[in-house]
Amino acid sequence: MATVIKIMDKEDISRVITRMAHEIVEKNKKAEDIVIVGIRTRGVQLAERLLGKLSAITKREIPFGILDITFYRDDLDRIDEQPVVHSTEINDDLTDKVVILVDDVLYSGRTVRAALNALMDFGRPKKIELAVLIDRGHRELPIKADYVGKNVPTAKDEKITLYLKETDKMDDNVILERVNE
Amino acid sequence: MNKFVWKKKDLLGLEELSADEILHILDTSKSFYEISTRAIKKVPVLRGKTVVNLFFEPSTRTKTSFELAEKRMSADIVNVSASGSSLTKGETLIDTVKNLAAYKIDILVMRHSVPGSAHMLSKILEASVVNAGDGAHEHPTQGLLDIFTIRQKKGRIENLKVAIVGDILHSRVARSNIWGLTKLGAEVILVGPTTLVPKHFEAMGVKISHNFDDVIGDVDVINMLRIQKERQKKNLFPSLREYSDLFGLDERRIKKIKKDAIVMHPGPINRGVEMSASVADGPFSVILDQVTNGLAVRMAVFFLVTGGRKGKGVM
């Protein structure tokens, strides 16, 4: 049997995104070189929400991109079937921009490593910062997030899933599943 | 995007693919299209993989397209052409390929004049085999890029009327198109003289017409095939001029086509024979889109056939 724990609900997620938006503006005073890039798939919806908050705070139109990291994965040789590739939509040259990379859950760090490599093929950003909704630990690479919604200490066999109303047809929430021996 | 999972090691022809498999290649191709629009046109998908391009027949555009696809995916590539290889010394195809395979290659791209040669090699090789044309049998990547282009321009394949005009009998492009288009629900009409469009093609589920003017105003897509001038010597048609008059797409005939129809050609074009210059460069022509799309389709094919098959993902 699995134990299911709700770690964040709709209001929690909304509050946390608002807070992260303020942190981003605080750290990047002018916010004018900022580009928000969401990692497919859940990172995209989070990035869109973050973008909404940031536009409201700064009263400025902020460029937005979508990144599919499939081409840059380090495990393509080790998997059974090729994953489905979606398109990357980055229309701006990222040279001299501050890229805020957005993902849902930070875990091994390998997705972020792949995303960093992918971003470098779109120019030479002035800076790349990482924003994640959940940091669950267990890093396998030296990677750290600049903006964290919530730190959730986990065991490796636990599973964290983010559900969003845009993609999952249910209220936003974050679920932790624990398999009981 | 569909949840379909690709399982095949090779791409040999469209005959053995299901509609789902074809659609999966087309969907995957869309994602690869974007790479060629970037400033840095390279992704590391085939990094550390070796591709051998083995061409026993002359080819410029197909070979260039395959090579660019390989390079943009970061593969290491070796080109072998028949002239100057040990085949001219009498080595058999199987020996040549077994020797190449002994280098532990990952993908073999082959064009050969014998139908079924790619199929035969796929059974003895651990590497993936991509058929770049086997005799008059199939040219699957050309078929796929044609279908990709139709889908890109018309938004669908189902219930479209597609005319393929010219030397169907000797055309591997026509056969791959017929297999793919009929599987996806298009209505295919083959057009040409009786000598080049024999009746037995009806068994593939297509219609046949020997009068281009009867068909032209009714179709959504016109795919004009190249007429090989050598065929005339075999008396398959009386003269190039007569062929052009009856089955060529010129200024006069283009006036009859639907306003939203598209005109395709796999290249290289004999301007003035199957198509006039003004039509090839005109508003209905999607010929250069076919070339651009070919790159995306070939990249997608490489990506799919090299799928891991080694265990679970770790990301």
Nearest CA to CA, how far is B276 from chain A (Å)? 37
Nearest CA to CA, how far is A74 from chain B (Å)? 8
Residue with tokens 């990506």: B303
AA letter at B240: L
Lowest mean per-residue pLDDT among A7-16, B185-194, B228-237, B256-265: B228-237
- Residue A178: its pLDDT value, please? 82
- Residue B50: its pLDDT value, please? 96
Q: Does A87 touch chain B (CB under 8 A)?
A: yes
Interface contact flag, A77 B310, Cβ < 8 Å: yes
- Residue A126: its pLDDT value, please? 94
Please say if the pLDDT value at position B15 is more than 80. Answer: yes
Query: Which chain B residues have any C-beta within 8 angstroms of a chain A C-beta?
Result: 1-3, 5-7, 27-28, 30-35, 38-40, 42-45, 300, 303-304, 306-315
Q: Are residues B261 and B299 in the same domain?
A: no
Q: Are residues B116 and B180 in the same domain?
A: no
Q: Are residues B97 and B159 in the same domain?
A: no
Out of A75, A88, A117, whose CB is closest to B34?
A88
Determine contact, residues A107/A138, Cβ cutoff 8 Å: yes
Residue with tokens 């990222």: A94
Go through chain B and tell me how many residues it has: 315
Q: Are residues B213 and B144 in the same domain?
A: yes
Q: Are residues B88 and B208 in the same domain?
A: no
Q: How many domains does chain B have?
A: 2
Q: Which chain A residue lies closest to B30 (C-alpha atoms)?
A: A87
Q: Are residues B177 and B58 in the same domain?
A: no
Go through chain A and tell me how many residues it has: 181
Banded model confidence at residue B84, pLDDT cuts 50, 70, 90: low
Q: How far is the C-alpha of A115 from the C-alpha of B176, rounded, in Å?
A: 38
Nearest CA to CA, how far is A165 from chain B (Å)? 19
Q: Which chain A residue lies closest to B48 (C-alpha atoms)?
A: A77
Whether B3 maps to a domain, the answer reads: no
- The answer, as to whether pTM is greater than 0.80, is yes
- What is the tens place of the pLDDT at every residue in B16-47? 999 999 999 999 999 999 999 888 899 999 99
Interface contact flag, A121 B42, Cβ < 8 Å: yes
Domain range holding B177? 140-290
Task: Note the ipTM here.
Answer: 0.79
| Residues of chain B above pLDDT 90, percent | 82
What are the residue ranges spanned by the domains of chain A? Answer: 2-73+86-179
Q: Are residues B260 and B151 in the same domain?
A: yes
Determine contact, residues A66/A37, Cβ cutoff 8 Å: yes
Out of B3, B39, B307, whose CB is closest to A82?
B307
Determine contact, residues A97/A35, Cβ cutoff 8 Å: yes
Domain at B145, CATH number: 3.40.50.1370
Q: Are residues B218 and B251 in the same domain?
A: yes
Please say if the pLDDT value at position B201 is more than 80. Answer: yes
Banded model confidence at residue A17, pLDDT cuts 50, 70, 90: very high
Banded model confidence at residue A96, pLDDT cuts 50, 70, 90: very high
- What is the tens place of the pLDDT at every residue in A130-157? 999 999 999 999 999 999 999 999 998 8
Interface contact flag, A86 B1, Cβ < 8 Å: yes
Give the architecture-level CATH label for domain A2-73+86-179: 3-Layer(aba) Sandwich (3.40)
Whether B9 maps to a domain, the answer reads: no
Q: Are residues B129 and B254 in the same domain?
A: no
Determine contact, residues B162/B199, Cβ cutoff 8 Å: no
Nearest CA to CA, how far is A57 from chain B (Å)? 32
- What is the tens place of the pLDDT at every residue in B118-174? 999 999 999 999 999 999 999 999 999 999 999 999 999 999 999 999 999 999 999
Average pLDDT over residues B80-86: 73
Residues 29-68 on A with a CB inside 8 Å of B are 68
Banded model confidence at residue B175, pLDDT cuts 50, 70, 90: very high
Q: Are residues B221 and B89 in the same domain?
A: no
3-state secondary structure labels for all residues of B136-196: CCECHHHHHHHHHHHHHHHCCCCCCEEEEECCCCCCHHHHHHHHHHHHCCCEEEEECCCCC
Q: Are residues B147 and B169 in the same domain?
A: yes
Using an 8 Å CB-CB cutoff, list chain A residues near B308: 76-82
| Residues of chain A above pLDDT 70, percent | 98
Please say if the pLDDT value at position B311 is more than 50. Answer: no
Using an 8 Å CB-CB cutoff, list chain B residues near A103: none
Q: Give the C-alpha distances (Å, rounded to integers) separating B256 from B186, B215, B220, B252.
A: 21, 10, 12, 8
Determine contact, residues B298/B276, Cβ cutoff 8 Å: no
Interface contact flag, A79 B43, Cβ < 8 Å: no
Q: Are residues B171 and B86 in the same domain?
A: no
The structure tokens listed for B109 are: 């791209």
Q: Does A141 touch chain B (CB under 8 A)?
A: no
Banded model confidence at residue B312, pLDDT cuts 50, 70, 90: very low
| Summary mean pLDDT of chain B | 92
Whether B71 maps to a domain, the answer reads: yes
Out of A79, A88, A121, whose CB is closest to B308?
A79
Interface contact flag, A122 B38, Cβ < 8 Å: yes
| Summary mean pLDDT of chain A | 91
Average pLDDT over residues B42-57: 94
Q: Give the C-alpha distances (Å, rounded to integers) separating B251 from A114, B163, B214, B242.
A: 52, 18, 17, 16
Out of A73, A78, A111, whose CB is closest to B310?
A78
Those residues with Cβ within 8 angstroms of residue A113's Cβ, 6 or more apart along the chain or in another chain: A74, A141, A143
Q: Which of A76, A86, A94 to mutate to test the interface with B (most CBs of B within 10 A)?
A: A76
Out of B31, B33, B310, whose CB is closest to A86?
B31
Nearest CA to CA, how far is A58 from chain B (Å)? 30
Interface contact flag, B43 A71, Cβ < 8 Å: yes
Q: Does A180 touch chain B (CB under 8 A)?
A: no
Q: Does A72 touch chain B (CB under 8 A)?
A: yes
Interface contact flag, A72 B43, Cβ < 8 Å: yes
Out of A73, A77, A80, whose CB is closest to B312?
A80
Whether B4 maps to a domain, the answer reads: no
